[in-house]
A = this chain, B = another copy of it.
Amino acid sequence: MKDGPDIARIASLIGDPARANMLSALMGGQALTATELASEAGVSAATASGHLGKLGDGGLVRVNQQGRHRYFSLAGPEVAQTLESLMGLAQHAGAVRVRTGPRDPALRRARVCYDHLAGDLGVQLYETMLASGGLTESGGEVTLTALGRDRLTGFGIDLDNLDTGRRKLCRSCLDWSVRRSHLAGAVGAAIWQQVQHKGWAKRIENSRIVAFSARGEAEFMDFLRV
């Protein structure tokens, strides 16, 4: 009633089913057009437009005009993190959707979280990088070591180009399915890009699930073990 940020305002933004569906869809990390989001949410284009306006005002999504298309994406990693956090709560409260098909285990194994890898494999990546001394964590801050930089450069990631200062290089993000952290931030995103680029894995259409090829998964595991 008195102090602190106005939490109800943005929670109610997320609290509408149509908007929540849109945000969930955007958790895939891709920018989507208004009509795609409308179909994702199951509402008409007019309704979707209204919702997207509100999400924009609330600072939850960003717009990117491109010709006559308007591409929407999450406003930033903090938004994605909050959404994951909410998913964790919902999961815990047993409020999973009825439609929990056989795809669910795959979702737990590997999925895309905004713009980086999550699920079992994402957590594994993060933890082995810590254990092998490529990353260090202190005070909630995650940083690359010299060793880690070397290894990523060898993996084909151009770190100098990444470190624009606009976005934190490394960040830990709590995983709703595994309940441990995985690697987010610019480096997390770059790794996911590279994994796709090498053909090790790709996203399943219209889903957050990441499918590794047999060979890709083996190579990924090798990369972890180094």
Contact = CB atoms under 8 A, between A and B. Distances in A.
Interface of A: 1-17, 19-21, 23-24, 40-42, 58-60, 78-79, 81-83, 85-97, 99-101, 103-104, 107, 123, 126-127, 130-131, 137-141, 172, 174, 176, 180-181, 207-208
A20 B3 contact: no
Contact of A5 (B91, B130, B137): B91
Given A11-B86, A17-B8, A86-B10, A59 B92 contact: yes
Nearest to A76: B92
Contact of A107 (B3, B82, B94, B207): B3
B82 A78 contact: no
Contact of A7 (B12, B20, B104): B20
A94 B138 contact: no
A137 to B, nearest CB: 4
Chain A contact residues: over half helix, strand or loop, or mixed? helix
Interface centre among A2, A81, A172 (most CB of B within 10 A): A2
B93 A58 contact: yes
Nearest to A139: B127
Contacts of A60: 89, 93
Of the candidates A42, A85, A94, the one having the most CB atoms from chain B within 10 angstroms of its own CB is A85
A1 B89 contact: no
A21 B95 CA distance: 23
B181 A139 contact: yes
Contacts of A91: 5
A23 to B, nearest CB: 8
